[in-house]
């Protein structure tokens, strides 16, 4: 277990470990109603293409049991649910620590007619309430950087995945080009907080999101963390010149 006396990143600030969970929860409760609209505005809709790419990499079979951790408003859970067949035993468990985000996401899947193959579970990514080796695939999309103990969350993903299964983590990462990095920084620190204020009336939360991306480990560091968590293989797929990266770890 982590040392609760240590500090962890919260944007560019360092705060006591035990405070981060509540502060992140407060942010996502505030942004839940506008979260989907802001994702479209911030990425010009590209996040939808990135998520579809992750689902293709997951190579879902109709009978798979899948866990979508930090599911948020359910975009990825919906794409996953469309790949399975409940009559063959396929099922998606969407989990999130934030009840507001989780309820909003599950309502979307219910409205899409996917409730028969989806279960929503309120859960902390560091202490998933699932059995060992329960899922064929586990996904975590744009959630790892908000976790207090990221290594523990990766260890939990590995624990709940069956031998032969895969965990996929998609996060903002480090651009591979200095030019792209420069443009990306200018865009992130000037436009994204403005969009947060304009569309969500919440500049501060989106300032945190920008800063949290910069504090998140780069591709090579996160790949090493996958191995430390016990994954046997880890592949990294860079998207948009490395602005986003998908890390895939397999369990033997």
107/115 Cα distance (integer angstroms): 9
- For residue 202, being part of any structural domain is answered with no
pLDDT digits (tens, 9 = 90+) for 34-84: 888 888 888 989 999 999 999 999 999 999 999 999 999 999 999 999 999
- What gap in Å lies between CA 250 and CA 252, rounded to an integer? 7
185 phi, psi to nearest 5 deg: -60, -45
Per-residue pLDDT, 166: 98
| Average pLDDT of the chain, as a whole number | 92
Local structure of residue 234 (DSSP, 8 states): E
pLDDT of residue 182: 93
Give residue 1's pLDDT band: very low, low, confident or very high (50, 70, 90): very low
- State pLDDT tens for residues 97-134: 999 999 999 999 999 999 999 999 999 999 999 999 99
164 lies in some domain: yes
Q: Yes or no: say if 54 and 128 are a contact pair by the CB < 8 Å rule.
A: no
Domain of residue 116: give its range: 7-176+207-250
State phi, psi for 66 to the nearest 5 degrees: -130, 140
| Strand ranges in 91-159 using DSSP code E only, listed in sequence order | 91-96, 118-122, 135-141
Residue 221 reports pLDDT greater than 90: yes
Averaged over 234-238, what is the pLDDT?
Answer: 97
pLDDT at 2: 47
Name the domain count of the chain: 1
CATH number of the domain that residue 25 is part of: 3.40.50.150
Q: For residue 36, tell me if it sits in a domain.
A: yes
* 191 falls within a domain: no
Residue 83 lies in a domain: yes
User: Does residue 70 sit within a domain?
Assistant: yes
Closest C-alpha to 91, from 130, 126, 127, 57: 130
């Amino acid at each position: 277990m982590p040392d609760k006396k240590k500090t962890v990143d919260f944007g560019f600030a360092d705060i006591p470990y035990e405070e981060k969970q509540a502060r992140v929860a407060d942010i996502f409760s505030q942004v839940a109603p506008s979260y989907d609209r802001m994702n479209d505005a911030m990425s010009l809709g590209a996040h939808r293409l990135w998520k579809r790419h992750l689902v293709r990499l997951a190579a879902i079979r109709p009978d798979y049991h899948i866990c979508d951790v930090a599911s948020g408003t359910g975009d990825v859970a919906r794409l996953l649910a469309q790949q399975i067949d409940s009559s063959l035993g396929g099922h998606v468990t969407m989990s999130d620590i934030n009840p507001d985000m989780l309820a909003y996401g599950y309502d979307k899947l219910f409205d899409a007619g996917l409730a028969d193959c989806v279960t929503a579970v309120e859960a902390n990514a560091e202490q998933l309430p699932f059995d060992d080796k329960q899922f064929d695939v586990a996904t975590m999309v744009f959630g790892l950087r908000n976790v207090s103990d990221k290594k523990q969350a990766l260890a939990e993903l590995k624990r709940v995945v069956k031998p032969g299964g895969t965990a996929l983590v998609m996060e903002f990462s480090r651009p591979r080009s200095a030019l792209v990095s420069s443009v990306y920084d200018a865009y992130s620190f000037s436009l994204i907080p403005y969009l947060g204020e304009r569309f969500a009336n919440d500049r501060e939360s989106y300032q945190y999101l920008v800063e949290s991306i910069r504090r998140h480990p780069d591709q090579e560091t996160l790949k090493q963390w996958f191995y430390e968590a016990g994954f046997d293989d880890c592949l990294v797929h860079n998207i948009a010149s490395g602005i986003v990266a998908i890390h895939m770890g397999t369990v033997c």
